[in-house]
Amino acid sequence: MIELNTELVVEDLEEKTRLDVFLSEEVDWSRSQIKLQIDGGRALVNGEKRKAGFLVKNGDVITLSFSKEILEINAEAENIPLDIVYEDDDFAIINKPQGMVVHPAPGAYNHTLVNAILYHFENLSQGSNKIRPGIVHRIDKDTSGLLVVAKNDKAHESLAGQIAEHSCFRHYLALLEGNLKTDEGRIETFIGRNPQDRKMMAVVEDGKKAITNFKVLERFGDYCLVEFILETGRTHQIRVHSKHLGHPIVGDKTYGIKNQKFNLNGQLLHAYKLELTHPTSGKRLIFECDIPEYFTKILNKLKNR
């Protein structure tokens, strides 16, 4: 592991300068590496986490606690079968199975979606760094469903922009414990790290804005099938919002109830529909995929009770 722990005082600046630009001139790390460290909260300005574009000024104190462990992971191509829903020269739509991690990280260096797409596709966008080629957005390991993979940087920029501007619609289906009081609604909160457990996310006052729309599709007495549409894409957003409503997702080992009634490997949450604009043609496209068999079996059990 390569580390850098130091404190820098900003001085001799003629004008305010971006945090990542300032650090690129002060430390021997690449801009992409510096951004990754900043995004990970390892560069504090006057004791506070800031974004890469934050403007620093003379007198600011920057505390660095850089760690290069994650950057030393090299994703290698692996011949892993993929369910490719759509593919052209700009992007591909993948139906990710439950249990597959999207990209390599400490604890999951191999057998990820990135390892698979490196084998199946000749060209991929650079993404945010070398361990995430082609990855425009992510879904959790135990969530199944549709993901878009960019094959070039132009397509990546367009697709990522659509997600940021909320013009790319991501639809999910989830089975919730209990029954929501209303048939449809909008959840708007702030989500951040759980102060009691940093491995979990929670609704907190100082988090990032998270917006989820929902509609109940079917009720089963003590369960309900719900469609969720994301406006933002915070970590574990639908899972956290479901718990916040008092109706966690069935099978969720992190945010769900302790006494699960079904023998499941993860939450019943599936990204079944994706709406986006083609980066080159400008055409509006809609992609859908079926609910996984293990999800369907539970729904059939509830319908036949």
For residue 77, the tally of other CB atoms under 10 A from its CB is 13
DSSP classification of residue 290: P
Tell me how far apart the alpha carbons of residues 157 and 162 are, in angstroms, rounded to a whole number: 9
Q: Is 247 exposed, middle or buried (0-12, 13-18, 19+ CB in 10 A)?
A: buried
Active site residue 140: yes
Tell me how far apart the alpha carbons of residues 252 and 64 are, in angstroms, rounded to a whole number: 36
Residue 277's nearest CA partner among 169, 172, 173 is 169
Distances (CA, A) of 282 to 155, 277, 285: 11, 6, 9
Tell me how far apart the alpha carbons of residues 119 and 128 are, in angstroms, rounded to a whole number: 19
Q: Six-digit token pair at 114?
A: 């990135």
Task: Could you list the beta-strand ranges (E) of 2-58.
Answer: 3-9, 17-18, 43-45, 48-49, 55-56
Residues 6+ positions from 291 with CB-CB distance below 8 Å: 173, 270, 272, 299
| Phi/psi at 222 (5° precision) | -105, 15
Active-site choice (90, 140, 142, 252): 140
Distances (CA, A) of 134 to 106, 116, 286: 19, 11, 20
Are the C-beta atoms of 267 and 238 separated by less than 8 Å?
A: no
Question: Active-site residue numbers?
Answer: 140
